[in-house]
Amino acid sequence: METSNTNLTDQEILFCDLFAHGEAPFGGNAARCYQEVFNDTSKRTKSRAARLLARPEIQEYLKSLDELTYEEAKYMKTFLRENLISIIEECSTAELRDRKGVIQSPAAMRSIAVNAVKVLAELYPVKAAQESKLKIEGSGEGGITFNVIMPEQPKQES
């Protein structure tokens, strides 16, 4: 839906943009957006902002901004999925070394990978029919236990 915003002034468009997509303290705060855009420090900014939001052409423009947000969100999910997969792959196989070149425990990186898997699972939930196949049984404490094997440290000769 393409909306013509020719009925709106530049300030009204800026007000809508700040209200719909602004960062704190503007996003969703009509009074604060009104104060900023119209340089109004009076005590009537809240009612003026409410009147502005009630105008049909303002509502129509805000709806068009919401449609853009939906499209952005659709692609953001893809972006997040690809980055989470990259994190999982890297962290599940990475080998860490300290400044002296000694291999470190992979536990910290594996923990990051597990957390990325959890977030990915929230983005793409597994259907109930598939859950039983993926269930991991613990030792009765409701959690998953990871055994971390530390590489042997070479003995330094003096």
CA 135/CA 67 separation, integer angstroms: 39
Model pLDDT, residue 130: 45
The count of other CB atoms within 10 Å of the CB of residue 60 is 16
Answer yes or no: is pLDDT of 137 > 60: no
| Beta-carbon contacts of residue 92 (< 8 Å; ≥ 6 apart) | 109, 110, 113
| pLDDT (tens digit per residue) in 5-43 | 568 999 999 999 999 888 888 889 999 999 999 999 999
Q: What is the pTM (predicted TM-score) of this model?
A: 0.46
